[in-house]
Chains A and B, each alone.
Chain A
Amino acid sequence: AQSVTQPDIHITVSEGASLELRCNYSYGATPYLFWYVQSPGQGLQLLLKYFSGDTLVQGIKGFEAEFKRSQSSFNLRKPSVHWSDAAEYFCAVGRPTGTASKLTFGTGTRLQVTL
């Protein structure tokens, strides 16, 4: 069975500082990995995805993530955080189910940005 672990429940960083959010996955085959962001009371927005190829993927809003198969990790990074990045971040692993897909989410990491 697939699973996702986000070890950090809550992270606080200063505006302008760098950020790394951790994600570890368990999946028997080639993983399909996603990072989503959710602002309070809002839906989820896709930041980036990894299917294959280059292990460093670029996303929206200046985020990037690196897939490391040997560590079963897909950590999210941003070199300089903005106050508007404060939100909940979810890592997810997907698998096909027939003609649809099924996402398994981690428990999320809440990012707080101090000015």
Chain B
Amino acid sequence: DTEVTQTPKHLVMGMTNKKSLKCEQHMGHRAMYWYKQKAKKPPELMFVYSYEKLSINESVPSRFSPECPNSSLLNLHLHALQPEDSALYLCASSQPGLATGEQYFGPGTRLTVT
């Protein structure tokens, strides 16, 4: 099973709301990633978790808060977002180490901030 699932598929939230994005994989991968993708642009890395520990934060604003409760789950908590945060949020996972570390992506959550 080479599937990464993400919920919800679509999310509309106001600037004062609190919401969460969820990502799940059952491939036994121990590295998980959050990316943000604006229209007609490549994905931009936000966070990397490795063995359930945050290893990379690409200077992401604190209104985005990642969480990795276990090796299969990755959450992204959202609070007080801005309209410019509207984007496709992609989750990915990989085996640690680059030789087998190709990343598998989920279908994404389309976020609209009003």
Contacts and interface: CB of A to CB of B under 8 A. Distances in A.
Most A Cβ at <10 Å: residue of B56, B98, B106, B108:
B98
The size bracket of the interface on B is 20 to 34
Contacts of B50: 98-100
A106 B42 contact: yes
Interface stretch (B11-19, B61-69, B73-81, B89-97): B89-97
Interface string A26-50: 0000001010100001111110010
Contacts, number: 79
Contacts of B108: 41-43
Interface in A60-115: 90, 94-103, 105-108
B110 A100 contact: no
A21 to B, nearest CB: 14
Contacts of B92: 44
B105 A101 contact: no
Contacts of B48: 97, 100, 102
Contacts of B99: 51
A101 B102 CA distance: 8
